[in-house]
A and B are shown apart, each in its own frame.
Chain A
Amino acid sequence: MSDFIVEVKSVSKNFNGKSVLNDLSLNVPKGSVFGLLGKNGSGKTTLIKCLLGLLKPQKGEVVTIGDNPLKFKNGTKEKLGYVPQADRIYPWLTVRQAIDYTETFYTVWDTELVNKLVSIWELKETDKVGMLSEGQVQKLSIILSLGHRPELLVFDEPVASLDPAARRQFIKMILDLVADRECTIFFSTHITTDLERVADRVALLKDGKIDFCGGLDELKDEVKRLRVTSKDPIKESIEAEGVLSCEILNNEAVISVRGFNEGMKKQLESKFNAEVQVENLNLEEIFLELNR
């Protein structure tokens, strides 16, 4: 039995000759909260759809909950929940009718959880889905994905349309879910602060490949900002393996590095006869540096 709930091996996907995913490999451990970060158009949604069998990769293999996504068994689908970027639930149904309709497809349904979320998020059961705002539809979509208590929850930018209060509630709900039972959460987002709050593992998608995959702390240890203050003006740009960016102003240089270690610091200190301060970066800054 694999420790990974999702295994992606050398997956490639292109659209009309344009490569979106390029020999991408990724493993998502069971019970983790896994965040996927990437620029617009980097392939996050494509990757998610490949994981769920909504798209078929040209090359490679995907195993989700031990099953082939293109031929999911009903038992596997019972363990899966998905919230797309912009869901469109039948507009002529009411909120309650949409919930009842979705419920009938699952053998297990947590009515108490669903009713609690409907109440917390102030959705009126008699309102037609077509009359709800985008944020409300997103909330309903999240509720519908949680009702059957899935083992794997996949969210594609779930909080993009939510107001700050709803986002907080959503984050809290995820933390509760993970704490209560072994539920793996896989989500893509642009809001790095939310990712920092909940994710224990992060993958960065760049140029169709996974640029980094590991623990959030591991990423923060790897990418640092170094402030080099020399006695003399720094004349040349600092170029070395692992340097992501370098800005020089007279005798001060600010460089971002990847794969930071103490040896790097000592090397800079001796080369420039300088004092080097190491600064930690938050996830947003790391993302910006890695995508320069």
Chain B
Amino acid sequence: MRKYAQILLLSIRNPAFLMLSLGFIASSVISKGFIKMRLGFYANEMFTVQFVFSLWLCFMLGLVLKRQFANHRASILPGYRAPHLVVAFLVFVFFVIVVWIWEIGTKVNFEISSAALFGVHTTCLFMAVFIVYLGFLSIGAVLVFAYLICLLISGESFAFVEQLSNTTHYNIYIVAAIISLFVFMIIRLMKIKEDSFEYPFLLSWTEKSLLKNQLRASNLVYSFFNPFKHIFKSKQKNSVYPKYPRAKNALIRSIHWDINEYREMRGTWCLIVFGTPAFIYFLKVFQFGNEFFANAYFNFLLLSVAPVLIALGSNYKKMMYWAYDSLKPIDKRTFILEKGFGFFRDLILFWFLFVVYFAVISSAVLNAGIMATVKFWSYLLFTGAYGYLIMAWIAYMSSCLKAVTVIFNGMCLCLLTMLLMQLVILDVLSIVFCVFISFVSANILIRVTYDKYCEKELGTMI
């Protein structure tokens, strides 16, 4: 029993997991409070909040599980594997029970269908399995998909829950597939060794192992796209790293620092490009998430915030190399400028992809009329401008030394974002004005941040 308790404490002591758990339980308690205040609608909304917490809890559970198994201790310590899996599953069951008790306790006012409940729990289970397999930190490109799915489901949790309530038949197959995947994961985790095929996708610790496993994972994924490799074959006969383009402008020089990543992402681009017809077919034929895809105005967070998070996720781990890279024969101010360009260049790229797929294509298929309005396009422009502002603001916060400053700015950013989610009620001129303000504010923040980073001790970023 002591062993199980220690394994449980391993998860609870993880700060992110603890905070999410407390948030989850708090949402259940708050819900009770709403019922007592005769605010049944808000109590109902708490289920959506619980779902979001559950999703991210499973995300964290998957991460902790990965650390436990991508570890020599899994093979060396006696009686290691089964107890860790049992505890992880029991943690999942505990939160399911909490939701069940909450549901019974609030049944007087409204009812959540069992299909919705079951669908929610298996979705969370899927998230844990997904994270275990889709290498957090293994391949930068794949990380994009992991966060994207979690963000998408979080952002549209209410619609997702409603959809689950209405399509019981659809749930059965999805649930069966998820449970099968979960069982498969358990079987593999009981046997996994360092040279197992999926090991490179599990979290690795030391920098050397991380790089080695990134390469292994990349080779596995991109060998799958072997037929397409010939299309994108490099024109260079040898694989010499290209020379730093001193004469070119800062934007082109910034690409040089990330040139290997862009080469690796060719497979991802193939997936996106060749997946487009399938995506259009999916939109036309299936009704799932119709509201989600049809009305771009409801996707403000997806179009403005998600690209920022993905751009940050793709670039943040490179920051640990800034200290070493800055020792190269390059002026520090130029270096910071080019590195900063890297972040914003990726932001533009991801924002463009999100807008094309989740606003332009989806509207063209489901709600073409909206595209004829000036408001639609000005709204899309604003999501880009606001994404730029968010990125600039986060960059500014990263340059601050005081925790209080960061917390205060973070709160302001969240508050502003919540207010701007009501943007749909504004007219075109107001939206354009918001675009202008966003650009100006972002540029001011960027300038301040740039100066601060030029003075910053890069060695503290290691």
Interface residues of A (CB under 8 A from B): 49, 52-56, 70, 72, 74-75, 77-78, 80, 82, 84, 86-88, 90, 92-93, 97, 100-102, 104-106
- Pick the contact of B15 from A70, A78, A92 — CB < 8 Å? A92
B195 touching A56 by the CB < 8 A rule? Answer: yes
Residues of B within 8 A of A53 (CB): 75, 193
B76 touching A86 by the CB < 8 A rule? Answer: no
B75 touching A72 by the CB < 8 A rule? Answer: yes
| Closest CB in chain B relative to A150 CB, distance in Å | 10
B14 touching A92 by the CB < 8 A rule? Answer: yes
Interface of A is mostly: loop
A105 touching B3 by the CB < 8 A rule? Answer: yes
B76 touching A101 by the CB < 8 A rule? Answer: no
- Give the docked Cα–Cα distance between A93 and B14 (Å): 8
- Pick the contact of A90 from B5, B67, B206 — CB < 8 Å? B67
Listed by A's residue number, 30 A-B pairs whose Cβ atoms lie within 8 Å are A52-B75, A54-B72, A54-B75, A54-B194, A55-B194, A55-B195, A56-B195, A70-B193, A74-B78, A77-B76, A80-B76, A84-B72, A86-B206, A86-B208, A86-B209, A87-B72, A88-B71, A90-B10, A90-B14, A93-B10, A93-B13, A97-B13, A101-B6, A101-B9, A104-B2, A104-B3, A105-B3, A105-B77, A105-B80, A106-B78
Residues of B within 8 A of A104 (CB): 2-3, 5-6
Residues of A within 8 A of B6 (CB): 100-101, 104
Residues of B within 8 A of A87 (CB): 72
Decide if B205 is an interface residue (CB 8 Å cutoff): yes
- Give the docked Cα–Cα distance between A75 and B79 (Å): 10
**0/1 string, B65-77, CB within 8 A of A gives 1:** 0010001100111
Residues of A within 8 A of B14 (CB): 90, 92
Residues of A within 8 A of B195 (CB): 55-56
Residues of B within 8 A of A101 (CB): 6-7, 9-10
User: Taking each of B5, B78, B195, B205, which has the highest tally of chain A beta carbons within 10 Å of its own beta carbon?
Assistant: B78
B383-419 residues at the A interface, CB under 8 angstroms: none
- Give the docked Cα–Cα distance between A78 and B71 (Å): 17
Residues of B within 8 A of A97 (CB): 9, 13
Residues of A within 8 A of B10 (CB): 90, 93, 101
A54 and B193 contact, Cβ closer than 8 Å, known pairs A84-B72, A92-B15, A101-B6? yes
Sample of 9 more A-B contacts, CB < 8 Å, known A93-B13, A104-B6: A54-B194, A75-B78, A82-B76, A86-B208, A92-B14, A101-B6, A101-B10, A104-B5, A105-B77
B278-333 residues at the A interface, CB under 8 angstroms: none
B199-225 residues at the A interface, CB under 8 angstroms: 205-206, 208-209
Residues of A within 8 A of B13 (CB): 92-93, 97
Residues of B within 8 A of A90 (CB): 10, 14, 67
A82 touching B2 by the CB < 8 A rule? Answer: no
Size band of the interface chain B makes with A: 20 to 34
Smallest CB gap from B206: residue in A: A86
- Give the docked Cα–Cα distance between A14 and B2 (Å): 41
| Closest CB in chain B relative to A116 CB, distance in Å | 22
Residues of A within 8 A of B194 (CB): 49, 54-55
| Closest CB in chain A relative to B225 CB, distance in Å | 18
B78 touching A77 by the CB < 8 A rule? Answer: yes
Residues of A within 8 A of B205 (CB): 86, 88
- Give the docked Cα–Cα distance between A105 and B10 (Å): 14
- Give the docked Cα–Cα distance between A110 and B428 (Å): 73
Residues of B within 8 A of A102 (CB): 77
| Closest CB in chain B relative to A128 CB, distance in Å | 10
Smallest CB gap from B74: residue in A: A54
| Closest CB in chain A relative to B460 CB, distance in Å | 14
- Give the docked Cα–Cα distance between A237 and B115 (Å): 87
Residues of B within 8 A of A106 (CB): 78
- Give the docked Cα–Cα distance between A49 and B71 (Å): 12
Smallest CB gap from B67: residue in A: A90
A56 and B193 contact, Cβ closer than 8 Å, known pairs A77-B77, A77-B78, A105-B79? yes
B242-256 residues at the A interface, CB under 8 angstroms: none
- Give the docked Cα–Cα distance between A92 and B206 (Å): 16
| Closest CB in chain B relative to A87 CB, distance in Å | 8
User: Taking each of B14, B71, B75, B80, which has the highest tally of chain A beta carbons within 10 Å of its own beta carbon?
Assistant: B75
- Give the docked Cα–Cα distance between A53 and B73 (Å): 11
- Give the docked Cα–Cα distance between A80 and B10 (Å): 23
